[in-house]
Chains A and B, each alone.
Chain A
């Protein structure tokens, strides 16, 4: 893949884009120029959903609070996960429970199928210019007009430092040295299933896991794991590791960051050489929002370089902008669009459509794996 969005010298096309963005600015903020936006939205409230847990806290500190400080608004963030679309569906269409929401591919799919999101007008989000095209290249056409990409998260391999085993390969989860000392996610089981899919070279990306016929081989690999205890959420994962029930985990980037910052001498986590499965965090404007213009301003703010830098400095996710400042703790951060394609195997929306068509069979099979691998 070629990165078509590299910064270049000022040319006619860039000049025209800049001019278009400048002309569109009043539309971005709805009712004022940039210079007066600071007072234009003062006192206006907006509720944005971010992922619950550490992500929510970082989002509040690095995005919401600075935004409110700059524009005098009353933006709040609330944590959400699998109940996001259920909450939107349960609320009246003209009175949603929140105005903007985060969504990975599954929630994007569910929300779009239920017409829960509002199309994005790119003219209102000039910072989209700075986004890696990878985010759009891994998106089906039906979804490209909705939302803005903010970043994304990955699965990671984490091992207790005292074992002196570097987390270089996913194969370690099957290693005899870690037998009976491994934990992985049985609730969001698709991420666990994605591990043997990443290791397998039979199909591109995670394609092998989308079809039950080809996924059986992946489940068979999972059946060979020697699990200490499967976890169903971040808190349980932390407890299993902290109580030394397990020494190695298939974890997630946001959880890994918490473990590494709170217990720097206890764990080591990394992206293994085979690469990782990933999801992209998009923010959508929810149908019926009464803060349309402020939502656009907020979504554009999500893509400001300073915003992205602040968030990245306190996380291990990858960001949407090409020009972020990579913090020291993020070794091996991708440097180009090609790197994004090489490192991150996304569980695509099309893939989700295939899994959803046969979900119960997948879920039942995973429960068999859990039963077979539990000590």
Chain B
């Protein structure tokens, strides 16, 4: 009897231990097949050789990684990409947060309009958006025309092919994602908390700092991560709007992969990109986890 009981308990314990894995299994299989295997293949490809006109030659070398960190073109591109992505992500999160707050605080009748506005960029391809900016930034573009017409400037100006144009383009592409993440976080909160803060004598600024910001911190970190991932990998927008010398990692990956047919070097660049993004995501997650622990 005792043995049977022990066996049954042991079986139950095993089942309990296995339950999360069984529940996770379908998702885990999908992640492994669609993300794990390609990443592993890419990692392996980055160590292959590249000879002549062949896409790659099976082998093992660290040359591509050495090249990445010794060639000024690549090191500059890595730094440029990180800098541009960080700046664009921070600004995107700030604008997205303000926009999401506005929508959250406005009466429901305004909500549909604002959400529709935020959806617009998602309904248009990145290439079409680029063409739009091409009509907006040049000296014969809408911006120059508007500034001239309003009397703010006397000569036509062109912001086309500047780092500013690339920056604006990146913010525009990632803003909707940021906005919807933050709006979903805000929607999960009770607006009466703001009233409670006011009732207790807190100014709007204090309520924001002590109530709203801590409660939306995780959302902010997720929005930042999402924006950072997106901007790190995007190459068409900065390439089409930025100056000639704005070489980002995404641009160099496509150049090596397609223009040069150097798959190993393109893979090595991609691995650096993946690792860089993973480090930032891990860092932001660790910040998020700390806060959750404090709350608990």
The residues of A with any CB-CB pair to B shorter than 8 Å are: 81-83, 85-86, 89, 106, 109-110, 112-114, 186-188, 227, 229-230, 232, 235-236, 239, 243-245, 352-353, 356-357, 359-360, 363-364, 367, 370-371, 374
Contact of A245 among B67, B160, B247, B262 (CB under 8 A): B160
Cα A359 to Cα B71 in complex, Å, equals 14
**With a CB–CB cut-off of 8 A, which chain B residues contact A83?**
258
Given known pairs A113-B53, A374-B243, the reply for A364 and B73 (CB within 8 Å) is yes
**With a CB–CB cut-off of 8 A, which chain B residues contact A229?**
161, 244
4 cross-chain pairs, A with B, having the tightest CB-CB distances, nearest first = A82-B258, A113-B53, A243-B138, A109-B53
Given known pairs A82-B258, A229-B244, A245-B158, the reply for A114 and B71 (CB within 8 Å) is no
Inter-subunit contact A232/B239 (CB<8 Å): yes
Given known pairs A109-B53, A353-B52, the reply for A360 and B67 (CB within 8 Å) is yes
Inter-subunit contact A114/B260 (CB<8 Å): no
Given known pairs A187-B259, A230-B244, A239-B134, the reply for A244 and B140 (CB within 8 Å) is yes
Cα A369 to Cα B13 in complex, Å, equals 68
Q: Which residue of chain B is the closest to A372 with respect to CB atoms?
A: B245
Q: Mark B42-53, 1 if CB is under 8 A from A, else 0.
A: 000000000011
Cα A31 to Cα B289 in complex, Å, equals 70
Q: Mark B139-163, 1 if CB is under 8 A from A, else 0.
A: 1110000000000000000101100
Q: Could you tell me which residues of chain B, from 209 to 265, have a CB within 8 Å of some CB in chain A?
A: 239-240, 243-245, 247, 255, 257-263
Inter-subunit contact A236/B240 (CB<8 Å): yes
Q: Is the interface of A mostly helix, strand, loop or mixed?
A: helix
Inter-subunit contact A359/B260 (CB<8 Å): yes
Q: Mark B116-153, 1 if CB is under 8 A from A, else 0.
A: 00000000000000010010001111000000000000
B55 at the interface (CB under 8 A from A): yes
**With a CB–CB cut-off of 8 A, which chain A residues contact B16?**
none
Inter-subunit contact B52/A357 (CB<8 Å): yes
**With a CB–CB cut-off of 8 A, which chain A residues contact B109?**
none
**With a CB–CB cut-off of 8 A, which chain A residues contact B55?**
85-86, 89, 110, 114
Contacts A86-B55, A243-B138 known; 4 new A-B pairs at CB < 8 A? A85-B55, A86-B261, A243-B139, A243-B141
**With a CB–CB cut-off of 8 A, which chain A residues contact B73?**
363-364, 367
Cα A359 to Cα B67 in complex, Å, equals 13
B54 at the interface (CB under 8 A from A): yes
> What's the minimum C-beta distance from B33 to chain A, rounded to whole angstroms?
17
> What's the minimum C-beta distance from A109 to chain B, rounded to whole angstroms?
4
Given known pairs A239-B134, A244-B140, the reply for A356 and B158 (CB within 8 Å) is no
Q: Mark B160-173, 1 if CB is under 8 A from A, else 0.
A: 11000000000000
The residues of B with any CB-CB pair to A shorter than 8 Å are: 52-55, 67, 71, 73, 131, 134, 138-141, 158, 160-161, 239-240, 243-245, 247, 255, 257-263
Given known pairs A89-B55, A114-B54, A239-B134, the reply for A374 and B245 (CB within 8 Å) is yes
**With a CB–CB cut-off of 8 A, which chain A residues contact B255?**
187, 363
Cα A136 to Cα B164 in complex, Å, equals 50
> What's the minimum C-beta distance from B152 to chain A, rounded to whole angstroms?
21
Q: Which residue of chain B is the closest to A110 with respect to CB atoms?
A: B53
> What's the minimum C-beta distance from A91 to chain B, rounded to whole angstroms?
13
Cα A286 to Cα B260 in complex, Å, equals 21
> What's the minimum C-beta distance from A146 to chain B, rounded to whole angstroms?
14
* Most interface-central of B53, B67, B245 (chain A CB within 10 A): B53
Cα A81 to Cα B262 in complex, Å, equals 16
Q: Which residue of chain B is the closest to A363 with respect to CB atoms?
A: B260
Contact of A374 among B71, B244, B263 (CB under 8 A): B244
| 23 A–B contacts from the bound complex (CB under 8 Å) | A83-B258, A86-B55, A86-B261, A86-B263, A110-B53, A114-B54, A186-B244, A187-B255, A187-B259, A230-B244, A236-B240, A243-B134, A243-B139, A243-B140, A245-B160, A352-B53, A359-B260, A359-B262, A364-B71, A364-B73, A367-B245, A367-B247, A371-B245
> What's the minimum C-beta distance from B262 to chain A, rounded to whole angstroms?
8
Q: Which residue of chain B is the closest to A111 with respect to CB atoms?
A: B53
Q: Which residue of chain A is the closest to B245 with respect to CB atoms?
A: A371
**With a CB–CB cut-off of 8 A, which chain A residues contact B52?**
113, 353, 356-357
> What's the minimum C-beta distance from A140 to chain B, rounded to whole angstroms?
12
Q: Which residue of chain B is the closest to A232 with respect to CB atoms?
A: B239
Inter-subunit contact A113/B54 (CB<8 Å): yes
**With a CB–CB cut-off of 8 A, which chain B residues contact A81?**
258
Inter-subunit contact A82/B160 (CB<8 Å): no
> What's the minimum C-beta distance from B128 to chain A, rounded to whole angstroms?
11
Contact of B245 among A110, A112, A370 (CB under 8 A): A370
> What's the minimum C-beta distance from A60 to chain B, rounded to whole angstroms?
21
